[in-house]
Amino acid sequence: LKELGDFFQEATNYTKEYKALSNWLLNDVLGFMNENQIEEIPIIPKQLARLTELIKEDVISTKIAKEVIKDMLSTKKDPDIVIEQRGLKQISNEDEIKSVVISVLEKFPQEKDRLKNGEEKLIGFLVGEVMKITKGKANPKLVNKLIKECL
């Protein structure tokens, strides 16, 4: 347990995302260690801190980060390298996402009309469709904003 405390303490030198850091450490890192029956944390604090920063900076989504952390823990690679090698960078280009949003709205005209008429829960469905097409890489906040703009 002291090792976890020391790891967390050192990681805070590289990020102010304390809550995210502790969640990743306690859930994913510890889970991986238990699952694989290993005693030592397989990555260094700076790597985990970097992962939290990449999420904060919208380079990757939390969902993509789940894939990245698994890779990091089994290969000991930096998150940036995992993201680059696996092509996991989040799409935050508004024009790129907007074209997908438009095609989804064209594909689901009834849902679009129902959303326009106040059925707010449909936004989740439409965001999900955009995420399917972009294989989870579109920035969900941006997708949400663009759907509302395109109504």
pLDDT at 34: 95
pLDDT at 116: 94
Residues 69 and 113 in one domain: no
Residues of the chain under the 50 pLDDT cut: none
- Residue 133 belongs to a domain with what CATH number? 1.10.10.410
Cα separation, 144 vs 62, whole angstroms: 16
Residues 75 and 106 in one domain: no
Residues 72 and 100 in one domain: no
Residues 76 and 100 in one domain: no
Phi first, then psi: give them for residue 6, nearest 5 degrees: -65, -40
Residues 81 and 103 in one domain: no
pLDDT at 92: 87
Cα separation, 127 vs 138, whole angstroms: 9
pLDDT at 44: 98
What is the value of pTM for the model shown?
0.80
* DSSP string of 4-20, one letter each residue: HHHHHHHHTTT-S-HHH
Residues 34 and 78 in one domain: yes
Domain span at residue 45 reads: 2-86
**pLDDT tens digits for 72-88?**
999 999 999 999 999 99
pLDDT at 22: 97
Residues 38 and 74 in one domain: yes
pLDDT at 51: 98
Residues 8 and 81 in one domain: yes
